[in-house]
A and B are shown apart, each in its own frame.
Chain A
Amino acid sequence: MLRIARRGIVVAACLALVAASSACSDEAPSSSGGGTAASVPGVTDTEIVLGTHMPLTGPAAAGYSKISPATKAYFEYVNANGGVHGRKIKYLVEDDGYNPANTQTLVRKLVLEDKVFAILNGLGTPTHTGVLDFLKTQEVPDLFVASGSRSWNQPEKYPTTFGFQPDYTVEGKIIADFVKKTYPGQVVCHMGQDDDFGRDSLAGVEQVLGADGVKEKQKYVTSNTNITPQIQAFKAAGCQVVISATIPAFTALSLGTAAKLGGFKPQWVPSSVGADYTTLSGLLGEGKVLLEGLVAPGYLPVSTDASNPWVQLYQKVNKEYNGDAPFDNNIMFGMTVGYLTVQALLKAGKDLTREGLISAVESGGFKNAAVGPYRYSASDHSGIGGMQMGRVTGGVQAAFGPVVQTDDGAGPVQEYTEAPATPTSNGIPAV
């Protein structure tokens, strides 16, 4: 026992040292808003630090890993042209591999250790859902989440969180409205991912077509790549139009499986999430002829439309600041997020605070590459509300028809008539 006692004394002495060196009281954290810019986390006179979590590796990396470099490239472009109110934007990107456990750790690291001003464009429903409560407690602005879940639009519950792309219910309604008008009397079916994505989409589709308007409903999970049973069920039900809430890999898989079954050629109408032609043709390889005639909605100009001024601007930035990465809709997405962020930061003014940024976003009225309106207000934190259909013809995806808008409730799907915005001459939003 003597040895234990001796050891005990040593340990106790060490503990006393630790105790003496650590302050045992918790001071109130410096107010995140209302104070001067000097006390705002992540903001100095010369810099604004933003952070994000992205799947740079893992199952969702294909395509999506190109988003954050594009956003970063746009920020570099703005920085090279004087920054925002004289401050340069620093964008910290953390790779969560689409694993919610990693997201938990990385977002805490960004907020608590790297002291970012805001979290921007965190990607994924399962990943980002887990950090909502944490970001709310820390009062960190959680801007433009890269997912169409309706969870981001809960201003009462999560006052700092804002969506970006049209939510899946709005998209479902817009697709169903198009299908109803274009393919009247045909048998409509629905394929959905077994989470908010599929569920919200189906809710939107049934809102327009009615609960009995969808003959066959099938679900899939990303962890199981055998979807032959689902496609067989569609064939047996005689589906003529299949609306699908699928990520790119499963859009490609659906088309490929249907072609293999033979004698089953429905009109596919996938969600914008899984309809980027560049990504799909890369996945299908030789089978990319199956994409011919594919119809899908979009909320940004199509990346192959070289006559669009936004595409021209983004291509320029991509060439100069993004190592000329292969230009696709993911880069369009990333750069638009960058543009919107700069618009919001400019609007928040020179005395940048977290509260100031949130009320700047809530004041709304942003216009940029998005074809429809942004819906931001104090009572609405959902993103873009309008979409335009696009079709693949001769290996080129192009938009057609009117831009339509709706809400995630029982509101009608109607045409959006405002003229599309154009970028400023230097490609940086004006104050």
Chain B
Amino acid sequence: MSTTQVRPARSPISRLITPRRTGPRRGSTLLRHLLWVAIAAVAVYFVSYGIDPFRNYQLATVAAYLCVTAGLTMLTGLNGQLSLGHGALMACGAYTVALAQNEFSDRGVLGAWALPVSLALGVLVAALAGALIGVCAARLRGPYLAGVTLAVALVVPAFTTRFAGLFNADQGLSVYVDPAPAALGQYFPPERWQAWIAIGAAMLSLLIVANLVNSRFGRAFKAVRDDEVAAKLAGIHVARTQVLAFVVSAGCAGLGGGVLAVISQSVSPSVFGLTLSLNLLLAIVLGGLGSLFGAAWGALLLVLLPYLTTEVTRGLSLSPGLANKLEGNLPLAIFGLTLIIVMLVAPGGIQDAFRALGRTIRRRF
């Protein structure tokens, strides 16, 4: 506990974060990260062939969430800004992709370029929305910031209803997506194609976030998080740094939302409600705040935990009366219980628990 007396008081968020390994790394950061991406891409390519279509679909969903959690963990973990509105930013991306894809399809101008263009538009719109929120957010702290972003999360259904002609209210829109290229073969499962798209997007956002974090900007993010006055004295423009973090994070959320729209081929406001925003926050905290590996754990949990709880409850044999009461509710209860247990056992998140385990093993041997 001696460290707390020496160091300046930290914000509650940054106290949750374990300090990363210090010391300079040699070589180009970009090159190192590109190598990682290449390895991961090859790995995923083979994995996607080895697993069945439903697992590919789950993989695609994990990747879509990973785009978002990577950006969010940077914003919350490294820049200290809490956002409860990332679900809404995903909606910006998703609706943009939906409208763009359907517009392309209506005009019959679809081609291999259409999907990347739609996704890029989604990122752009979400980043613009993020810039707007970021400018407000840079003036606010703690609960006030949470309040503003919460309002953003809540505004999505109202927005889609007010402009029902464009967004089709609660029912949402279906998204036209071209089938997998014919060159891949007649029996190429569409789920594998979706997984490739989603993984590609996830790799892109991870690459951008990882490079940003390891750059001058990343160091500025952390400086602002730890002590704004000190950061200001060091010549860092605090507000500008915060807005930048928000914009990049929003762009990632837009990409994730867009990818989600592509793989589920539909968008509707209930998908991007407050629950999603809270779940995203939960995912990064549970995975390990501030770490990209933690973001990956979080994305995996978002998909696997509901799936596994349902599987567990299906294994039980219950009387019809009891089943009527429990069906649907029991998975939710198990979900909540798991979260409580994980937070008790590993308060720093899953990635932190693994690091601690690694340290223990190294010390032993």
Among B42, B260, B319, the most chain A Cβ lie within 10 Å of the Cβ of B42
Q: Is B191 an interface residue (CB 8 A)?
A: yes
Give min CB distance, B302 to chain A, whole Å.
11
Q: Is B19 an interface residue (CB 8 A)?
A: no
Give min CB distance, A52 to chain B, whole Å.
12
B39 touches A11 (CB 8 A): yes
B308-339 at interface with A (beta carbon < 8 Å): 310, 314, 319-324, 327-329, 331-332
Q: Which segment of B8-16, B132-140, B169-177 sits at the interface?
A: B169-177
A100 touches B332 (CB 8 A): no
Residues of A within 8 A of B355 (CB): none
B225-240 near A? 1/0 per residue, CB < 8 Å: 0000000000000000
A164-192 at interface with B (beta carbon < 8 Å): none
B172 touches A126 (CB 8 A): yes
Q: List 28 A-B contacts (CB under 8 A).
A: A4-B27, A11-B39, A11-B43, A15-B43, A18-B46, A21-B50, A26-B185, A26-B187, A28-B186, A65-B327, A99-B270, A100-B172, A100-B264, A101-B260, A101-B271, A105-B61, A112-B191, A125-B171, A126-B268, A126-B270, A129-B171, A130-B174, A130-B266, A133-B265, A223-B157, A223-B158, A323-B323, A325-B324
Residues of B within 8 A of A19 (CB): 46
Given A26-B187, A99-B271, A15 contacting B42 (CB threshold 8 A): yes
- In angstroms, Cα B269 to Cα A194, docked, is 13
- In angstroms, Cα B50 to Cα A93, docked, is 28
B292-313 at interface with A (beta carbon < 8 Å): 307, 310
Given A21-B50, A61-B328, A222 contacting B320 (CB threshold 8 A): no
Give min CB distance, A10 to chain B, whole Å.
10
Residues of B within 8 A of A134 (CB): 265
Smallest CB-CB separation from A19: which chain B residue? Answer: B46
Pick the 4 closest A-B CB pairs, nearest first.
A323-B321, A56-B328, A22-B50, A112-B54
B191 touches A126 (CB 8 A): no
B153-173 near A? 1/0 per residue, CB < 8 Å: 000011001001000111110
A22 touches B46 (CB 8 A): yes
- In angstroms, Cα B271 to Cα A29, docked, is 32
Q: Is A393 an interface residue (CB 8 A)?
A: no
Residues of B within 8 A of A56 (CB): 327-329
Contact pick for B39, options A8, A22, A29, A222, CB 8 Å? A8
B57 touches A112 (CB 8 A): yes
Smallest CB-CB separation from B57: which chain A residue? Answer: A108
Q: Is A351 an interface residue (CB 8 A)?
A: no
Q: Is B52 an interface residue (CB 8 A)?
A: yes
Give min CB distance, B180 to chain A, whole Å.
11
Residues of B within 8 A of A18 (CB): 43, 46-47, 50
Contact pick for B332, options A57, A112, A125, CB 8 Å? A57
Q: Is B32 an interface residue (CB 8 A)?
A: yes
Residues of B within 8 A of A80 (CB): none
Q: Is B53 an interface residue (CB 8 A)?
A: yes
A27 touches B49 (CB 8 A): no
B331 touches A221 (CB 8 A): no
Residues of A within 8 A of B27 (CB): 1, 4
B264 touches A323 (CB 8 A): no
- In angstroms, Cα B42 to Cα A22, docked, is 14
